[in-house]
Structure 1
Amino acid sequence: MEDQPSSSSSSASSRTADLDAPLHAMGFEIDELSAHRVTGRLPITRKCCQGFEVLHGGVSAMIAEGLASLGAHLACGFQRIAGIQLSTNHVKPAQLGDLVYAEATPVSIGKTIQVWEVQLWKTDPSKPKDKILVSSSRMTLMGNIPVPEYAKGNILRVKKHAKL
C-alpha cells in the first residue's frame, strides 16, 4: 500500500487538496465531481482509525459532509451552501488496511433545500465485485446563499475540477 501513487492517484490527491483540505489530510481522494454524483476513496490508515484500528465514525461523517457539500454547491449553481443536518448509520467496520469507496448522490434538489445520500463501502478481496456497506449518511443542506467576496476563489477551484 505504500507504493508510489499512480498519475490518476496523484491527480485525485491534488484535486482533493484543492477542494477539501480536511479530507485530503485524512488521505481521501476525490475521483468524480458533478452536480449529480461525487465519488472518492480512502485507504484506511492509522491516521483515520480509532483505537481499535477501525475507521473512526467521525471520519465517515466528515466524508459524507464533504462530498454532499461539494455536490450541493454544484447543484445550486455555485451558491454558498450550509449543512443543516447530518445523520450517519455505521453498519460494518472498515479496518486498518481496507480501501473504502464513497459515493454521494442527490435525493432531492430544491431551490433552497437539498438532501444527499452518501454511502461508504468496502469490498471483500475474495469477492471484489461484492460491496460491503460500511456506513450510510443522509445530509440536508440549505443552498442559494450568496457567496461572500472572500470566498469567491472557491468557485473557481470547484469549476476547475468539476464535470459540468
Structure 2
Amino acid sequence: MGMTVESEQLIKDTFGRGLDSSLGLQLSEVGGDRVVATLELSEKHHQPFGIVHGGVYCAVAESVASVSAFTWLQVTGIGGTAVGVNNNTDFLKSISSGTLSVESAPIHRGRRQQLWRVTMTDDQGRVIATSQVRLQNVELPEGVEVPTIPSGA
C-alpha cells in the first residue's frame, strides 16, 4: 500500500515524540505493510554492565509495531488507532553501540487485532532481537487529535 510523501511525514511527526524522541528512534520509511526505523545506540541505552538494556528493544518494537498498525488502519480506511496488548521480545545478541536497524512485517491484520513481527539488526546485519507485538484496534480516545491519512494514500 503506497502513501504520499505528505502522509508519511504526518505519521513521522505524530509518532516522533515522547519516549521515541528520548531514545532517539528515527522513522525512515512508513507504509501500510512495513515500517523501517533506526536507532543510534550509546551509553544512554545501556544497562549497568555496558550493553544495551533489553527494555530498549521492547520499547522500540512496541513503537514500530504501533506505527505499523496505525498506518495500516489509516491506509485501509478503517481508521482509529491500535494499542499494544502483548509484547514478546527475544534478545539474541548483546551489543553496546552502533546503529540498530528496525523493520516491521505483518503477521495478521484483522478488524479487532493485529500481530506484527519486528526484527532488529546491527551494523553487520546480525539479528540482535526479534519481537512479536499484538495490538488491539480501538477508536481514538476522545479529545486526541491524530492526523487523518486519506485511505489509499
Check whether the contact 1:30–1:40 (CA below 8 A) recurs between aligned residues: yes
What residue in structure 2 maps to residue 116 of structure 1? 116
Letter in 2 for 1:155: P
Q: Which structure would you say has the larger RCO, counting Cα contacts within 8 Å and 6 or more residues apart?
A: 2
Deviations 1:75-97 (A, max 9, x none): 1233121211110000001213x
Check whether the contact 1:85–1:140 (CA below 8 A) recurs between aligned residues: yes
Q: What is the SS of the residue equivalent to 1:120?
A: strand
> What is the alpha-carbon root mean square deviation over aligned residues?
2.2
Q: CA deviation at 1:54?
A: 1.4
What residue in structure 2 maps to residue 36 of structure 1? 33
Letter in 2 for 1:31: S
Dislocated runs of 4+, deviation >3 Å: 15-18
Aligned pair count? Answer: 138
Q: CA deviation at 1:16?
A: 5.2
Find the aligned partners of 1:107 and 1:47 in 2 and give their Cα distance. 32
User: Unaligned regions of 5+ residues in structure 2, if any?
Assistant: 1-10
Q: What is the TM-score normalised by the length of structure 1? A: 0.76
* Compared CA separation, residues 53 and 18, structure 1 to 2 (3 A): farther
Q: CA deviation at 1:18?
A: 3.9
Determine which of 128, 140, 148 is the counterpart of 1:147: 140
What residue in structure 2 maps to residue 92 of structure 1? 93
Identity of counterpart residues, as a percentage? 22
Find the aligned partners of 1:138 and 1:50 in 2 and give their Cα distance. 23
Find the aligned partners of 1:16 and 1:46 in 2 and give their Cα distance. 25
Q: What is the TM-score normalised by the length of structure 2? A: 0.81
Letter in 2 for 1:89: D
User: Unaligned regions of 5+ residues in structure 1, if any?
Assistant: 1-14, 125-130
Q: What is the SS of the residue equivalent to 1:141?
A: strand
Letter in 2 for 1:88: T
What residue in structure 2 maps to residue 102 of structure 1? 102
Q: Does 1:54 align with 2:51?
A: yes
Q: CA deviation at 1:17?
A: 6.0
